[in-house]
A and B are shown apart, each in its own frame.
Chain A
């Protein structure tokens, strides 16, 4: 069990690094658009989309960081606690909302056409697969949080049986 948790912790750390890289990349794209690009294109929409991407990536990275701390300090002897249930539920909801927002942004990016895609070096490959994977992960996390909550209630009942 400890090995599994450690592996999960490492993967979450990698995910956080990936999130920070994505934020940095989006920031540099915004910088390039504002200060380097000399085109006459209207840059308002691409910049808005990039800013939304930076915001949601920041939120997800923040919650992943919080979740990694929970995973790191996980007490296996008292796994069925309210705190664990809450953190699993929170991260599940964050992933769920993130995947829907990511899907929505992807639809907008596709609808903006080739000009936008060239401007932002947009590559939509794998976005749908990523969103579906994240959706499945989020649903699993939400189910696990329900199981933890139910287990906590049973444990409470058992502890209060004299």
Chain B
């Protein structure tokens, strides 16, 4: 898919682990892993909002469009 999830980079910048983020936003680690690996088909606004709130960032920091 041409939408890339840069969650790993943002997490590394903030010295956070996936487990911590999953706990903060209230989703399972498995679902966060699906999101990070780019296997997710869609993301809910509520999840995006929770991630942005937890990481203090903008949606554009997490999601990017890359031409195939």
Binding site for B on A (CB under 8 A): 156-157, 160-162
Contacts and interface: CB of A to CB of B under 8 A. Distances in A.
B47 interface: yes
B53 interface: no
Contacts of B32: 162
Closest 8 CB pairs of A and B: A160-B41, A161-B42, A162-B35, A157-B41, A162-B40, A162-B31, A160-B40, A162-B43
A8 to B, nearest CB: 34
Interface of B: 27, 31-32, 34-35, 39-44, 47
**Residue with the greatest number of chain B CB neighbours at <10 A, chosen from A160, A161, A162:** A162
Contacts of B27: 162
A11 B35 CA distance: 46
A162 B47 CA distance: 7
Nearest to B43: A162
Contacts, number: 23
Task: Name the prevailing secondary structure of the A interface residues.
Answer: mixed
Contacts of A162: 27, 31-32, 34-35, 40, 42-44, 47
B45 to A, nearest CB: 11
Contacts of B42: 157, 160-162
A162 B22 CA distance: 12
23 contacts: A156-B41, A157-B41, A157-B42, A160-B34, A160-B39, A160-B40, A160-B41, A160-B42, A161-B40, A161-B41, A161-B42, A161-B43, A161-B44, A162-B27, A162-B31, A162-B32, A162-B34, A162-B35, A162-B40, A162-B42, A162-B43, A162-B44, A162-B47
Nearest to A159: B41
A117 B48 CA distance: 75
Given A160-B41, A162-B40, A162-B47, 6 more contacts: A156-B41, A160-B39, A160-B42, A161-B44, A162-B42, A162-B44
